[in-house]
Amino acid sequence: MGEAGPRILGRYEIQEEIGRGMMGVVYRARDPALGRTVALKTVSLLLAVPDEDRAGFEQRFLNEARVAAGLNHPGIVVVHDVGRDPGSASLYIALEYLEGETLAERVKRDGRLDWREALRLTAKVADALHHAHERHIVHRDVKPANIMLLPSGQPKLMDFGIAKIPASQLTNAGEFFGTPSYMSPEQATGEPLDARSDVFSLGAVLYLLLTGTRAFDAPSVPGILARVAKKDPPPPSKLIPGLPAIVDYIVARALAKDSGRRYATAHMLAEDIQDVLAERTPRHRASWTPPAPADETMRSIPAGRGAAAAAATTRPPEPPTADLRRDPSLILRLAERVGYRGVLVLVALVAVGLALPLAGRRAAQSFPIPLPSLLTTAEPGHLEIDFEHPLRSGTLRVYVDDAQVLEEALSGKVTKKILSFRLRRGSTNQTLDVAPGEHVIRVEVDSTGYDASRRIRGTFKSGETRRLEATVDGLLKKELTLIWGG
């Protein structure tokens, strides 16, 4: 602890600094009244709350921290005291001082855990969360760094009270203090939360414990939030050979984007884990139907065409074959107009299903040349463009080997307001047919005050869909990135 650090906070004697984060500093301190060591966590309001809102914020913090102090569970760190230091005006919360390491530290040192140990720890944390949820407390910041692993092997969930601050009406300041990689989709998009948000976050923790990698990761905060809201991570068994497939079910259900498809309670999650560890069929498995795989979802729908367009574009249309069988002279008449070499090129393009888009926002259409049946056996490859951006408006253009295949107008809606900043989010998803083989994909974005162009090379197989994740990230300096999805 530096010389400028406090010596006394409230009645607590500061011994040393043991941690520091966005919300404040954690000290090891001594409580002279009771003669015990505590972890004293201060809460800084300088970045979180405008001056005019601080009184209300402080009152809500104190009230919520006192409610958290009423939790009594072996898997939850004890809250001893909460208050405000009269000298510095700092809010603080005095917690049970624990010896051990966080799960974040454990994974950083040792990598992924044995899957049985990962499930055991997750079930214990789920029981602790259920205890809080029954008392109408949502943690909101479940993450590896907030789970202490004691030398006995018992996990303890920390930061109740402080993590609850954003649940109050001060959402503008609060919503950004969660940890992006472990946020639930509803938390990432600023929607109302309930206990199922904590279930999602715990599912993301379980994913890390099982695989050693985060379920949702990207180079920037907006990119992470976009993945949380829209991207499903690969099943753990795809990354860790030999992992039981039933573990994929537990992770997938905990990480369901739609909260209605998640475990309804943390207790249900714990029960299914207990069944798997006991080599029984999970008792809640029969009540859950997994979401449809991504490759069965609807393809791009032209704007303004509604449900009829959805039905029509679920699968690409089969190439026509009957016209040439009925009238072979079509080839001769076409050859007279464009030349025999030209007609062979055109027929070959249609045979592999290359979609040529019309200008503006109209749907991509196949070139209208009838095909002989012997040319319809080769199925095209599919390029799925998944684009996320923070722009108010603009234009997206996509090129395959310098041939433009898509142009679409962009718009973004305000998802968060932080002080004077308005954060916007927009997205589009389009699927295009491309010829099998290697291609250079170029993505261009034009907007007021921002334009960018990036290229990426990819190989497409017949019938295969490859997802290109294109993202514009950044608050002050925006950057376009292209990554092939899993």
Which residue is it, tokens 């039981």? Answer: 244
Rounded Cα gap, residues 191 and 218, in angstroms: 22
Q: CA separation (Å) from 31 to 148, 229, 321, 372, 430?
A: 22, 43, 85, 87, 61
Backbone angles phi, psi at 51, to 5 degrees: -55, -45
Q: Can 433 be counted among the known catalytic residues?
A: no
- Report the alpha-carbon distance of residue 107 to residue 111 in Å, rounded: 4
Q: What is d(CA 151, CA 91) in angstroms, rounded to the nearest whole number?
A: 30
Q: What angle do CA 372, 377, 378 make, to 5 degrees?
A: 115
CA distance 350 to 372: 11
Residues 6+ apart with CB under 8 A from 266: 126, 127, 129, 130, 133, 195, 198, 199, 202
DSSP per position, 326-369: H-THHHHHHHHHH-HHHHHHHHHHHHTT-EEEPSTTPPEEE---
Residues 6 or more apart whose Cβ sits within 8 Å of residue 35: none
Chain-centroid distance of CA 340 in Å reads: 52
Tell me the one-letter amino acid at 307.
Answer: A
Count Cβ atoms below 10 Å from residue 260 Cβ, excluding itself: 7
Which residue among 141, 159, 198, 473 is the active-site one? 141
Q: Exposed e or buried b for every residue in 220-259, given b needs 16+ CB within 10 A?
A: bebbbbbbbbbbbbebbbebeeebeeebbbbbbbbbbbeb
Pairing of strands 421-434, 413-418: antiparallel
Q: Token match 């090379």: residue?
A: 457
Question: Does residue 432 contact residue 406 with C-beta atoms inside 8 Å?
Answer: yes
Distances in whole angstroms, Cα of residue 427 to Cα of each of 227, 230, 348, 416, 452: 12, 10, 34, 16, 17
DSSP character at residue 286: G
Q: What single-letter DSSP state applies at residue 76?
A: B
Residue 460 CA, distance from chain mean position: 27
Residues with active-site annotation: 141
